[in-house]
């Protein structure tokens, strides 16, 4: 098959908003959605029943209420969600089922309430979420399978990152820079590695406290937690 689909939307109405949907159900598909300078913008890509699919969404300079969702079913899929310079209430989601998938959510320079999520089911998956310059943001990566890697990077304030991995030889890394941050990381399996780094704010009369919780089940596990700045920081590591 070898199908290709692209949608571009620019300068939409504030009242009605913009919506773009691509649905592909065969092998070797490429789907791209680009949206800029809109308000109440949504992008959705669904790819199923095939291998070697690629899905990309790009949303830039949109107003409140910007969302992107990618759903893929198959092997060797690549999904990328990029959201940059949007206002508030931004959501990006990648959901992949299969082996050797790559999922990425990049959210830059938004204002408030940014949510990024990567959900993968299979082997040899890579999930990455990066959020910069927003407050009240949430980044969640959930992976089930072997040889998975999840990386979460956040800067701003009131950040929350939640990483869950179930399988063997998984690696999870979370970096948060700002204040009032919270990280919860759960790994189930053998030979897991977890690295959490938080850099908080110590300015003002009240220092901002950061919280880290790491839970690992299995053998030969390593957990590294680093907290700097802030006040009243809490770090908990539970290994069994």
CA 35 to chain centre: 19
Instruction: Supply the pLDDT for residue 68.
Output: 97
Instruction: Supply the pLDDT for residue 168.
Output: 83
Instruction: Give average pLDDT by consecutive 10-residue segment, the chain, 240 residues.
Output: 88 80 88 92 90 92 94 90 95 92 94 94 92 92 91 91 89 90 89 89 62 88 89 87
Distance, in Å, from the CA atom of 21 to the CA atom of 196, rounded to the nearest integer, reads 37
Instruction: Supply the pLDDT for residue 13.
Output: 67
Instruction: Supply the pLDDT for residue 83.
Output: 96
Distance, in Å, from the CA atom of 231 to the CA atom of 203, rounded to the nearest integer, reads 10
Helix H, strand E, coil C: the string for 14-52 is CCCCEEEEEEECCCCCEEEEEEECCCCEEEEEEECCCCC
Q: In terms of C-beta distances under 8 Å and separation of at least 24 residues, what long-range contacts does 138-143 make, across chains too?
A: 138/114, 138/162, 139/105, 139/115, 140/115, 140/116, 141/117, 141/172, 142/117, 142/118, 143/118, 143/119, 143/167, 143/170
H/E segment holding residue 144: strand 138-144
Provide the 10 A C-beta neighbour count for residue 16.
10
Distance, in Å, from the CA atom of 122 to the CA atom of 162, rounded to the nearest integer, reads 19
Distance, in Å, from the CA atom of 131 to the CA atom of 181, rounded to the nearest integer, reads 13
Apex 175 CA angle, 170 and 192, nearest 5: 15
Give every CB contact of residue 5 below 8 A, 6+ residues apart in sequence. Answer: 22, 24, 29, 30, 31, 32
Instruction: Supply the pLDDT for residue 84.
Output: 96
Q: Under DSSP, is residue 87 helix (H, G, I), strand (E, B) or coil?
A: coil
């Amino acid at each position: 098959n070898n199908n290709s689909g692209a949608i571009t939307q620019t300068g939409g109405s504030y009242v009605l908003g913009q919506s773009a949907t691509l649905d592909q159900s065969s092998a070797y598909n490429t789907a791209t959605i680009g949206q800029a300078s809109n308000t109440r913008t949504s992008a959705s890509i669904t790819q199923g029943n095939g291998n070697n699919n690629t899905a990309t969404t790009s949303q830039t300079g949109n107003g409140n209420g910007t969302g992107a969702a990618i759903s893929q079913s198959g092997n060797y899929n690549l999904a990328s969600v990029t959201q940059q310079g949007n206002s508030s209430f931004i959501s990006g989601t990648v959901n992949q089922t299969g082996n050797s998938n790559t999922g990425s959510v990049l959210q830059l320079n938004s204002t408030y309430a940014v949510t990024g999520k990567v959900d993968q089911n299979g082997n040899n998956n890579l999930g990455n979420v990066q959020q910069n310059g927003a407050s009240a943001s949430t980044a969640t990566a959930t992976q089930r399978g072997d040889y998975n890697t999840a990386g979460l990077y956040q800067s701003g304030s009131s950040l929350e990152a939640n990483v869950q991995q179930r399988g063997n030889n998984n690696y999870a890394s979370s970096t948060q820079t700002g204040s009032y941050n919270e990280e919860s990381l759960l790994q189930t399996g053998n030979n897991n590695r977890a690295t959490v780094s938080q850099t908080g704010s110590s300015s003002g009369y009240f220092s901002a406290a950061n919280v880290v919780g790491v839970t690992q089940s299995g053998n030969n596990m390593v957990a590294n937690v680093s907290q700097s700045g802030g006040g009243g920081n809490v770090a908990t590591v539970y290994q069994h």
